[in-house]
Structure 1
């Protein structure tokens, strides 16, 4: 489903009436004589997007940062409680078995992208396969929900006015979606190698911890698991595969971008982090 422009636009059009944070679609075009490919045009949302840190002249107290954080999580809860059938999106996914498909799919992708200088992740993949839960629900999920895909009102930075990048949206398990998001949720006291992967300001005073995010989300959404271990480790494994797929291209000379040179080290770190969480898990 990724990079299918027509699919993304049609999902956004269907979702917009139920989830107002989707940007308006202005036009959809499948006539390749125009640009040589399918494309769509959406409205431009003028606002604040938080990336690795707060922008210049954007300072919030710890109390206000917490308020912002809760509002962003609330919008994920809102998405997961959209009536997919009423929105005409109930056929978007492949039905039951989402968790199983994700573990199998990401495992296959890693094995195809592995390079000889990166660990094999076999312990992690075996654990995920062994501890795999049933789907807890079938809901609309974003699959890439992070601060840098959220647009804030420039006049009221606590207000979310848009959610971007819908190319991976589907019908799936909401806790898997939360696990994906938490893989990027790096706290101020996390160890150095993990800090190197930080791309959003979750280290700021006032930001919720990962545990607080999970507890708050479960309370607000009603989607619960006795333990979140599986979803946390899945999210980190998925991130490792994404990183490794990029590193594979660098390793084999398909890209020369020097930013990717350390991605193999990042994948190795994530394997060790997953292994440590597995040892600590009581599942």
Structure 2
């Protein structure tokens, strides 16, 4: 299993850090650090930047926003660290926060440092050495959903937890907020998808199904599996968008990444996690499982599914706009315009059927 542990790689030139200033800062706030740090980078994400900082045997992870102008409220690493600190006592899968820095003089942006969770992170395909048959894959999938269900059961009456979000009115704020972000992220020639936006506005539920802590980006490559037992999740990462909101919005956001083996070719080409593997629950099965475990009515899920795809489409367009404007030279972002087109087309197909694409 050690060969499957998620490892950092060499820094991209555009993402380099001021090692001298960072070293001085970290030694001033984290006891016991000695020597010169080695800095490497995790290349899996497409939004915020994540680095592995090691001092000998001591390893930690630094998170910072991407370079360039970002949308209002986006990439707020200090808020993410605050959310993680607020949730850690209630949800043991949150990594411990070691430092928070709001001084841009250190590395050019605010950032935080957390403990490193050593484990396996699933990407596009299941590693050959994972050792899971179809029944094991199904058990892993259910465990993945169970951790989300546990998060949605966190006590929101605790003041530090209640403070992470506004709660009531969440769905309406999301529809308004993400459609506004879509408008601001436009690039030349992009389809405005006015029909999709109009459908979302017309079909949004009048109130939340329930209010709870939601992750808002819960997917397989944001969970860390125990290297000794892949059915055991040891951590959940990427808490930037966590808040108090509607759990069905959270599930819909997760399912936007859920590509199945018999989906259309364009959607299959977007797959970044192994939801096509034999034994994985289908989207319909995942929704039914969630409803059975929580008691929440999931009978009319079309809005949540379409909104999850639309939100992912906006995120991809925001990243693509940064690439078009030259704020990043990362070539993986050059194809994000096509991702937007595929997601938009899928939204339209779902709207046409009122449910999932057969």
TM over 0.5: yes
Q: Which residue of 2 aligns with 1:164?
A: 237
Q: Distance in 2 between matches of 1:198 and 1:85?
A: 38
Query: CA-to-partner distance for each residue in 1:175-220, whole Å, 9 max, x for gaps?
Result: 1011110000001111111112111110100000000010101111
Task: Give CA-to-partner distance per residue, 1:22-44, whole Å, 9 cap, x none.
Answer: 11223334455655554332211
Aligned counterparts of 2:276 and 2:192: Cα–Cα separation in 1: 30
Kindly report the root-mean-square deviation, in angstroms, between the aligned alpha carbons of the 2 structures.
1.8
CA contact (8 A) 2:130 2:230 kept: no
Q: Could you tell me how far apart the structure 2 residues matched to 1:3 and 1:239 are?
A: 15
TM-score of the two chains, using structure 2 as the length reference: 0.74
Contact 1:114 1:248 in 2 (8 A): yes
Match of 2:89 among 3, 7, 17: 17
Asked if the contact 1:103/1:128 (under 8 Å) is kept, the reply is yes
Name the CA distance, whole Å, in 2 between partners of 1:257 and 1:212.
Answer: 36
Q: Are positions 1:58 and 2:130 aligned together?
A: yes
Residue 266 in structure 1 maps to residue 334 in structure 2: no
Of residues 247-256 and 185-194 in structure 1, the stretch that sits farther from structure 2 once superposed is 247-256
Q: Aligned to 2:182, which of 103, 107, 110?
A: 110
CA contact 1:14–1:88 (8 Å) conserved in 2:
yes
**Which residue pairs with 1:179 in the alignment?**
252
Offset from partner CA, 1:232-259 (integer Å, 9 cap, x none) = 0001111111111122233344444333
Q: Compare 101-110 and 122-131 and name the one that shifted more.
A: 101-110
Whose Rg is larger? 2
| 1:243 equivalenced with 2:316 (yes/no) | yes
Q: Using CA pairs below 8 Å that are at least 6 residues apart, which structure has the higher relative contact order?
A: 1
Name the count of aligned residue pairs: 282
Is contact 1:18–1:87 with CA below 8 Å preserved after alignment? no
